């Protein structure tokens, strides 16, 4: 039995509703939209329909995968669902998706929540399940309806984030030119409040802990029951940690910069990605940036970017990618993937 694992296929889903920069400009006349577009790199972002959950979007991404590869429906033996959103407090959304997707009762299923590093964590767990013989084909789902957690008057975060979902089929392989390499992970929980929805969990349950809206220093309306991000702290963390992460991933996989065909980082925003590229002295063609039409879709940005690079023929079967994620927690992770 092969113990190596590879990304065999990726399918994506974006909600129908689109929030363009023109619409944002109409909602916030004082917004410096040209400057914001230059910094974020986002022109539009997709918004989940009312009542459309992260589970619904993951279902649609998975169904798209099964339309493209009908044989997978009977072959999948594990579901890994990454999201901060969940259909119910319990049971796990992955269990609900097993039923909705009409998968075998012999399928294992679990949820986890790791934000923008989620795809790396999901890949590592899928690889581990395959390496130990627990699974042969794992369905890794990432999905986030993050815009529902952002205050309608929080113009900065509304400009950055979008909703969406992806489905990746992680499979055992004996191909010598394909596989998922060694991982590097890290955590700094002292920064857990820099990306947070403070209220609504057991620490500060709702509605008892609900507070009134308040303005931050930049004129964004905030509420502790809504999504908050300390942009300055996240920028410093991302551009400081990502270059170190890259070197650690290369060393652990016994590779050099020139061995990598494409660097695919979490698509946080344009200025973060460009700054990381400059620090690593990457030619722009090797630093894939593709968030203009989707915005920051949290754990889904890396699989969205891989699909985009494949469609643009920047990579092909056998291409070697360095994947790097960083975000909420603070957490970070990276690996090498050969398609």
CA distance linking residue 120 with residue 301, whole number of Å: 11
Q: Of 174, 201, 224, which residue is a domain's last?
A: 174
Q: How far is CA 142 from CA 23, 38, 45, 212, 269, in A?
A: 27, 27, 17, 32, 19
Q: Residue 210 has what pLDDT?
A: 60
Point out the residues that are catalytic: 116, 266, 296
Q: Residue 208 has what pLDDT?
A: 61
Stretch 120-126: mean pLDDT: 99
Q: Are residues 149 and 47 in the same domain?
A: yes
Q: Of 174, 205, 226, which residue is a domain's last?
A: 174
* Residues of the chain above pLDDT 70, percent: 98
Q: What is the dihedral sign for C-alpha 324, 294, 163, 167?
A: negative
Q: For 259-301, how does the pLDDT look when each residue is reduced to its tens digit (9 = 90+)?
A: 999 999 999 999 999 999 999 999 999 999 999 999 999 999 9
Q: Are residues 14 and 43 in the same domain?
A: yes
Q: Residue 146 has what pLDDT?
A: 98
Q: Of 174, 193, 211, which residue is a domain's last?
A: 174
CA distance linking residue 224 with residue 201, whole number of Å: 11
Q: Are residues 137 and 191 in the same domain?
A: no
Q: Is residue 179 part of a domain?
A: no
* 57 compared with 214, residue with greater pLDDT: 57
Stretch 10-23: mean pLDDT: 98
CA distance linking residue 159 with residue 28, whole number of Å: 11
The dihedral region occupied by 313, where left means phi > 0, alpha psi between -120 and 50, and beta the remainder, is left
Q: Look up residue 301 and give its DSSP letter.
A: H
pTM: 0.95
207 band by pLDDT with thresholds 50, 70 and 90: confident
Q: For 58-84, how does the pLDDT look when each residue is reduced to its tens digit (9 = 90+)?
A: 999 999 999 999 999 999 999 999 999
Q: What is the CATH number of the domain that holds 189?
A: 3.40.47.10
Q: Are residues 233 and 167 in the same domain?
A: no
Say how many domains are in the chain. 2
- The whole domain housing 265 covers 184-338
Q: Are residues 58 and 132 in the same domain?
A: yes
Stretch 199-212: mean pLDDT: 78
For residue 218, is pLDDT > 80? no
């Amino acid at each position: 039995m092969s113990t190596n694992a590879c990304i065999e296929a990726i399918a994506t889903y974006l909600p129908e509703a689109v929030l363009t920069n023109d619409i944002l400009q109409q909602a916030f006349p004082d917004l410096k939209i040209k400057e914001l577009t230059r910094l974020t790199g986002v022109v539009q972002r997709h918004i989940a329909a009312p009542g459309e959950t992260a589970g619904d979007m993951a279902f649609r991404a998975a169904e798209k995968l099964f339309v493209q590869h009908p044989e997978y429906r009977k072959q999948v033996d594990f579901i890994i669902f990454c999201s901060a959103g969940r259909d119910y407090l319990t049971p796990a959304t992955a269990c609900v998706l097993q039923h909705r997707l009409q998968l075998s009762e012999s399928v294992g299923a679990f949820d986890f929540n790791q934000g923008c590093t989620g795809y790396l964590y999901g890949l590592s767990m899928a690889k581990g399940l395959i390496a130990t013989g627990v699974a042969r084909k794992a369905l890794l789902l990432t999905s986030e309806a993050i815009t529902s957690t952002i205050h309608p008057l929080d113009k900065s975060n509304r400009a950055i984030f979008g909703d969406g979902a992806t489905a990746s089929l992680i499979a055992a392989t004996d191909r010598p030119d394909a596989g998922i390499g060694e991982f590097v992970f890290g955590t700094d929980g002292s920064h857990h409040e820099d990306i947070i929805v403070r209220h609504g969990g057991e620490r500060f349950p709702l509605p008892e802990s609900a507070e009134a809206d308040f303005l931050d220093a930049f004129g964004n309306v905030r509420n502790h029951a809504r999504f908050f991000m300390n942009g300055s702290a996240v920028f410093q963390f991302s551009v400081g940690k990502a270059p170190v992460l890259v070197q650690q991933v290369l060393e652990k996989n016994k590779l050099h910069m020139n061995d990598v065909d494409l660097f695919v980082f979490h698509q946080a925003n344009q200025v973060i990605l460009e700054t990381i590229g400059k620090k690593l002295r990457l030619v722009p063609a090797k630093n894939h940036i593709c968030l203009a039409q989707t915005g920051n879709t949290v754990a889904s940005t890396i699989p969205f970017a891989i699909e985009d690079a494949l469609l643009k023929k920047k990579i092909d079967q056998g291409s070697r990618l360095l994947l790097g994620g960083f975000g909420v927690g603070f957490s970070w992770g990276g690996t090498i993937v050969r398609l």
